[in-house]
Amino acid sequence: MLFGGRDTKCAKLEFGTLKLFMEIILVTGANRGIGLALTKVLVANGDTVIAACRRPEESSELKQLTLLHPKAIDLVKCAVDREEEVVEAAAAFRKRRHKLDVIVNNAGIMPEHGNESILKIDLELFRQAFDTNTLAAARVIRAFYPMLAKSERPRILNVSSGLGSVSTKDDHDYYAYSISKAALNMLTRMIAHEFGPTGMTAVAISPGWVRTEMGGEDAKLSPEESAQSLAEAIKRIGPELNGHFLDRNGQMGEYPW
């Protein structure tokens, strides 16, 4: 179900050295943390945001933001771990808009404490993490692909983590989360190969260590700092970066696979 909003035309403005085109951007997990901060930045930049979350009726800050910007935000009920809700959200979207420019698969969970042994950790946590952090991205891409394919510059950003880097893993912390993000990275590489010849760009991108409920109070970045970088990276990312693992600024090199 969608609330408010309208189609935006492809307007253009100058922002530093970047030429920013007003776009329609889907952000999952938009009700809090990085997703909410990113929604705010994108709206401030003039983009239209399809703000997806599990329980929009309980997302007071996101609801208030939608009331302030009714033409710029479509608030979408979409639990990404439920196939039927993702399909329903995409069907509702198709009735209102002719295309989608960017998918930001941001929704994610870290279900464990982080210090569990493989001998004792509840394996159900693996299933939960994989369902939300990996399979959900596949669900969203499949459901929204027909609209994304109509964009002149389609992009998919799968929000990953340095904890998903296999080559740099040197501890056993966060089994379920790390493994699910490593799987998301592989999904990104594979869809990049499948969709790249059509002109679509798919990347894995880390938002950095952010002070959210997941990242904790000791993290270096605020959600606003991370979101500002991500918003600028969305505009920069093009086919030359297809299939790469990027930092929050859209640069290669910091996060090896």
Domain CATH for 28: 3.40.50.720
- Answer whether residue 217 is part of any domain: yes
- Answer whether residue 253 is part of any domain: no
Report pTM: 0.91
- Answer whether residue 254 is part of any domain: no
8-39 per-position pLDDT tens digit: 344 444 444 344 579 999 999 999 999 999 99
Q: How far is CA 248 from CA 93, 142, 162, 217, in A?
A: 28, 25, 11, 19
Rg (CA), the chain: 17
The Cα–Cα gap between 2 and 205 comes to 27
- Answer whether residue 255 is part of any domain: no
Q: How far is CA 141 from the centre of its chain?
A: 11
- The tally of domains found in the chain comes to 1
Domain residue limits at 113: 2-246
- Answer whether residue 220 is part of any domain: yes
Instruction: Supply the mean pLDDT for the chain.
Output: 91
- Answer whether residue 146 is part of any domain: yes
129-139 per-position pLDDT tens digit: 999 999 999 99
The Cα–Cα gap between 190 and 42 comes to 28
Q: Are 185 and 204 in contact (CB under 8 A)?
A: yes
In this prediction, residue 21 carries a pLDDT of 72
Q: Distance from first CA to last CA of the chain, Å, rounded?
A: 37
The residues pairing with 75 across neighbouring beta strands, listed in sequence order, are 3, 51
152 secondary structure, DSSP code: S
